[in-house]
C-alpha cells in the first residue's frame, strides 16, 4: 500500500495537465514524491531541461534502492539487476561524450545521479581519452564484455549504435538469467513480466530498425532478444526478415499481438498500442496480493513511465502546446488501469 500510494493518480495527471504555466506545474509537483528532487532546480539554467530529466532519473535510482532494501536478498539482487538499465544509460552518455569530444564538465551535466546504485565513477570515465580506453578500463566489470563485442564495428564504421546495442543486450541477458535465482512463485511472475516487456521491445526494435533505419534482416536478427514468443530462432528469424510492419503484424498470433497491432500503420502507433497494453498488464499486477515480486516490479516500471510523462509535460509547457495535443504522448497516464 505504501508503494501504491507513491504513484500518480488520475487526479495528479489532471492537475499537472491543467497547469497553465511552469510555475503552476512546479507548485503541484512540489506536493508529490518528486518535490524534493526538484526543490532547487534552476529553470533558467542553460541546460535546465536536461537537468530536470537527470534529477528525475536520480529519484528513480533512489526508488530502486529503497525498494530493493525492503526485499529479501535474492529479490533485492534482482531489483538491482533491473536497475542496471539506468547504469547503461549513463554509460551511453559517456560513449557519446568520448565520441563527440565533449568536455567532461559539459557531459557530466547529462549524467543521472546514481549514488548507491553502482560503483562506477562516471566523471572519471569521462576523463578517458577514447572509447577503446573506456573498454579497457571496464574490462573486469560486467560492462567490459558487451563493450568489447561492439568495439570492432565501432572502429570500422564510426557508429555508436553497435556499442549502445551491446550494452542493452548485455543488460537483458543478465536480467533474463537472473529470473532463475528467484523463488518458484516469484520466478513465474517475474518471468511473465520480463517476457512481455522483451516481446514488446523486440517488436519496437524491429519497427524502428526496418521502417526508420532500413536495416537488413541479418542485422535486425542479431539484435533481437531471446525471450518470450521470440525465444526460438525461427520466431526471431521471421520477425527480423518481415518486409514491413504490415507483413510482420499479419503473421503474429492473433492474441495478443495480432489483434492489438492490426492496422497500426506506423512506428509511433505501434509503440503507443504496445505501451497501453504494457500499462494494463502492470495495473493488473499492481492489484495482486502484495507478498510477491510483481508489486515492486510493477511499481518501478510505473515510476519510469511517470518520469517519461513529466518530461513530456514539461516539453509541452515549454512549447506552449494545448493540453489535448500533449495527452496522446503520455505513456503512463495513471496506475490502476484508469486513464486520464
Residue with cell 518481415: 242
Q: Assess whether pLDDT exceeds 80 at residue 333.
A: no
Q: Assess whether pLDDT exceeds 90 at residue 4.
A: no
Looking at residue 127, the DSSP 8-state letter turns out to be: T
Q: Assess whether pLDDT exceeds 50 at residue 335.
A: no
* More confident of the two residues 24 and 329: 24
Q: Assess whether pLDDT exceeds 60 at residue 154.
A: yes
Q: How far apart are CA 94 and CA 111, in angstroms?
A: 8
What percent of the chain has pLDDT above 90?
A: 85
Residue with cell 488501469: 337
Torsion of CA 150, 159, 87, 190, to 10 degrees: -70
What is the chain's mean pLDDT, rounded?
Answer: 92
What pTM value is reported for the model? Answer: 0.92
Q: How far apart are CA 302 and CA 120, in angstroms?
A: 26
pLDDT of the residue at 337: 40
Q: How far apart are CA 95 and CA 101, in angstroms?
A: 10
Q: What pLDDT digit, counting tens, does each position of 71-81 carry? A: 999 999 999 99
pLDDT of the residue at 94: 98
Q: What pLDDT digit, counting tens, does each position of 81-114 carry? A: 999 999 999 999 999 999 999 999 999 999 999 9
Q: Under a CB-based contact definition with an 8 Å cutoff, are residues 304 and 112 in contact?
A: no
Among 8-22, 229-243, 321-335, the least confident range: 321-335
Residue with cell 513465474: 188
DSSP per-residue letters across 47-91: THHHHHHHHHHHHHHHHHHHHHHTS-HHHHHHHHHHHHHHHHHHH
pLDDT of the residue at 336: 40
Residues in the chain: 340
Structural domains in the chain plus CATH codes: 183-292 (1.20.1690)
Amino acid at each position: 500500500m505504501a508503494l501504491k500510494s507513491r504513484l500518480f493518480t488520475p487526479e495528479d495527471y489532471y492537475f499537472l495537465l491543467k497547469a497553465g504555466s511552469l510555475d503552476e506545474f512546479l507548485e503541484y509537483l512540489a506536493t508529490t514524491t518528486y518535490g524534493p528532487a526538484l526543490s532547487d532546480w534552476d529553470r533558467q539554467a542553460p541546460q535546465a531541461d536536461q537537468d530536470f530529466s537527470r534529477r528525475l532519473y536520480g529519484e528513480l535510482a533512489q526508488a530502486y534502492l529503497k525498494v530493493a532494501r525492503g526485499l529479501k536478498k535474492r529479490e533485492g539482487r534482482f531489483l538491482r539487476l533491473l536497475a542496471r538499465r539506468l547504469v547503461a544509460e549513463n554509460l551511453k552518455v559517456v560513449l557519446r561524450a568520448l565520441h563527440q569530444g565533449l568536455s567532461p564538465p559539459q557531459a557530466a551535466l547529462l549524467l543521472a545521479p546514481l549514488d548507491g546504485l553502482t560503483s562506477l565513477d562516471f566523471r572519471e570515465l569521462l576523463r578517458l581519452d577514447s572509447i577503446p580506453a573506456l573498454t579497457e578500463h571496464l574490462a573486469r566489470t560486467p560492462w567490459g564484455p558487451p563493450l568489447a563485442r561492439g568495439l570492432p564495428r565501432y572502429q570500422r564504421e564510426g557508429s555508436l549504435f553497435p556499442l549502445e546495442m551491446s550494452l542493452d543486450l548485455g543488460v537483458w541477458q543478465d536480467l533474463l538469467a537472473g529470473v532463475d535465482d528467484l523463488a518458484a512463485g516469484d520466478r513465474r511472475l517475474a518471468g511473465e513480466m520480463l517476457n512481455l516487456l522483451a516481446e514488446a521491445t523486440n517488436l519496437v526494435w524491429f519497427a524502428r530498425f526496418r521502417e526508420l533505419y532500413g536495416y537488413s534482416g541479418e542485422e535486425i536478427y542479431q539484435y533481437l532478444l531471446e525471450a518470450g514468443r521470440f525465444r526460438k530462432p525461427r520466431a526471431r528469424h521471421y520477425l527480423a526478415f518481415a518486409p514491413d510492419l504490415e507483413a510482420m503484424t499479419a503473421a503474429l498470433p492473433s492474441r495478443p499481438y495480432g489483434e492489438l497491432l492490426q492496422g497500426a500503420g506506423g512506428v509511433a502507433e505501434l509503440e503507443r498500442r504496445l505501451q497501453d497494453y504494457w500499462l494494463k498488464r502492470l495495473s493488473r499486477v499492481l492489484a495482486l496480493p502484495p507478498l510477491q515480486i510483481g508489486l515492486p516490479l510493477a511499481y518501478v516500471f510505473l515510476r519510469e513511465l511517470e518520469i517519461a510523462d513529466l518530461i513530456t509535460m514539461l516539453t509541452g509547457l515549454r512549447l506552449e502546446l494545448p493540453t489535448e495535443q500533449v495527452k496522446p504522448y503520455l505513456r503512463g497516464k495513471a496506475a490502476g488501469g484508469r486513464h486520464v
